Amino acid sequence: MADAKVIPFDDDRSRGGAQRPPRRRTTVSGRRPAQVRGVQPLPAPQIPQDDVPVEREVREPGAEGGEQGGGWERRVAGGLAFLRRRLTGDYEVDDFGYDEELTDQVLMSLLRPVYEKYFRVEVKGIENIPADGGALIVANHSGTLPLDGLMMQVAVHDNHPHQRHLRLLAADLVFMLPVVNELARKAGHTLACAEDAERLLQRGELVGVMPEGFKGIGKPFSERYKLQRFGRGGFVSTALRAGTPIVPCSIVGAEEIYPMIGNAKTLARLLGFPYFPLTPTFPWLGPLGAVPLPTKWTIQFGEPIETDGYPPEAAEDPMLMFNLTDQVREQIQHSLYKLLVQRRSVFF
């Protein structure tokens, strides 16, 4: 499982508004025609039931504004309560360092505009992710920088009916970088090793892995959407031991955010990076060149591959692991090609 590497970079919003203020009701009715002396009034016409005058609701001035004001008051109160818990340490993290409250209220809120407005991610097949219990989501990896893992994390949380959290397996490099290390831990990421992955799966968590690792994320633009080697099948062995399904995931759109046309290998070795990308904009445009292109993304979750029907010793069968690994890889590759054919444009 050591070669299955991911490099993720790395409210409860108050939805109830204030109670609606009381409304004053005014009855609006039709007037009778004036009677002229000596003239018998015509019989009143029969008014259909649907045309009977009804009471019209009149709102007090400023009623709507008061309701909105109550909503803002609740948000401010929630924000102050969140800050108080942060300052006093009155919040919980699990044994991996995962801070669910911080993830939901801060990290997800920061990623959501990028997900919704910038990359305009479209999600398909979310029903293939189980409503509860553990599952291993296996996805392709690309994009020079690992934004695909973060977008997949938002996609699962915001689209799943039960708003499930995805725990990504990350490469060693993530936990060696200052600030990024802390943010990754808080967001639920953990080291890409079999022991941690198996513990999370047995606890009923969703675990995300991108087996291509640096080979996928750092491949040249000319090899876009061509899956690299999936390692030795460590993720399959982990799923077999935990008896959890494997959900293939295909991501289209990430390949074009930083078209990698070159690799400064000498500079990468000096900095301790697996590669140093050269793109049409970076490093030539400086910090501006680090802004990703606003491509249109599609994330599709495929039908799960069940593993609970295999005996316990199946995790030690190299031929079975090879066959399942190849099955997952082929399913992802086939979905990528299908999505590319359906795509109208890189940006639309």
Span 82-136, pLDDT tens digits: 888 888 888 899 999 999 999 999 999 999 999 999 999 999 999 999 999 999 9
Sequence-separated (6 or more) residues with CB below 8 Å from residue 290: 282
Whether 239 and 307 have beta carbons less than 8 Å apart is answered as yes
Identify the domain boundary among 74, 91, 108. Answer: 91
Confirm whether 29 is domain-assigned: no
Q: Both 193 and 231 in a single domain?
A: yes
Please give the pLDDT value at position 323: 93
- Reported as a pLDDT band with limits 50, 70 and 90, residue 335 is very high
Please give the pLDDT value at position 70: 65
Output the CA–CA distances (angstroms, integers) from residue 342 to 14, 141, 142, 227, in the order listed.
39, 20, 20, 19
- Reported as a pLDDT band with limits 50, 70 and 90, residue 69 is low
Confirm whether 287 is domain-assigned: no
Q: Both 81 and 215 in a single domain?
A: no
Q: Both 86 and 183 in a single domain?
A: no
Q: In the structure encoding, which two tokens stand for residue 281, read together?
A: 């904009």
- Three-state secondary structure readout of the chain: CCCCCCCCCCCCCCCCCCCCCCCEEECCCCCCCCCCCCCCCCCCCCCCHHHCCCCEEECCCCHHHHHHHHHHHHHHHHHHHHHHHHHHCCCCCCCCCCCHHHHHHHHHHHHHHHHHHHCCCEEECHHHCCCCCCEEEEECCCCCCCHHHHHHHHHHHHHCCCCCCEEEEECHHHHHCCCHHHHHHHCCCEECCHHHHHHHHHCCCEEEECCCCHHHHCCCHHHCCCCCCCCCCHHHHHHHHHCCCEEEEEEECHHHCCCCCEECHHHHHHHCCCCCEECCCCCCCHHHHHCCCCCCCEEEECCCECCCCCCHHHHHCHHHHHHHHHHHHHHHHHHHHHHHHHCCCCCC
Q: Both 123 and 86 in a single domain?
A: no
Confirm whether 42 is domain-assigned: no
Q: Both 68 and 164 in a single domain?
A: no
Identify the domain boundary among 73, 91, 109. Answer: 91
Across 215-240, average pLDDT: 92
Q: In the structure encoding, which two tokens stand for residue 120, read together?
A: 């305009």
Q: Both 74 and 214 in a single domain?
A: no
Q: Both 215 and 327 in a single domain?
A: yes
Please give the pLDDT value at position 37: 38
Lowest mean pLDDT among 56-65, 121-130, 228-237, 295-304: 56-65
Q: Both 179 and 87 in a single domain?
A: no
Q: Is the pLDDT of residue 48 over 70?
A: no
Whether 211 and 142 have beta carbons less than 8 Å apart is answered as no
Please give the pLDDT value at position 233: 82
**Percent of the residues in the chain that have a pLDDT greater than 70, as a whole number:** 80
- Reported as a pLDDT band with limits 50, 70 and 90, residue 74 is confident
Confirm whether 185 is domain-assigned: yes
Confirm whether 138 is domain-assigned: yes
Please give the pLDDT value at position 342: 95
Q: In the structure encoding, which two tokens stand for residue 251, read together?
A: 């991501």
Rg (CA), the chain: 28
Confirm whether 27 is domain-assigned: no
Sequence-separated (6 or more) residues with CB below 8 Å from residue 332: 138, 139, 140, 227, 248, 249, 250, 302
Q: Both 144 and 177 in a single domain?
A: yes
Between 85 and 48, the more confident residue is 85
Q: What domain range includes position 72? A: 62-91
Whether 98 and 186 have beta carbons less than 8 Å apart is answered as yes
Q: Is the pLDDT of residue 1 over 50?
A: no
Q: Both 191 and 169 in a single domain?
A: yes
Encode pLDDT of 131-178 as tens digits: 999 999 999 999 999 999 999 999 999 999 999 999 999 999 999 999
Q: Both 86 and 160 in a single domain?
A: no
Confirm whether 5 is domain-assigned: no
- Reported as a pLDDT band with limits 50, 70 and 90, residue 187 is very high
Across 177-198, average pLDDT: 93
Residue 224: CATH number of its domain: 3.40.1130.10
Q: Both 76 and 159 in a single domain?
A: no
Confirm whether 241 is domain-assigned: yes
- The count of structural domains within the chain is 2
For 209, list phi and psi in degrees, rounded to 5.
-140, 145
- Reported as a pLDDT band with limits 50, 70 and 90, residue 80 is confident
Across 46-56, average pLDDT: 44
- Reported as a pLDDT band with limits 50, 70 and 90, residue 7 is very low
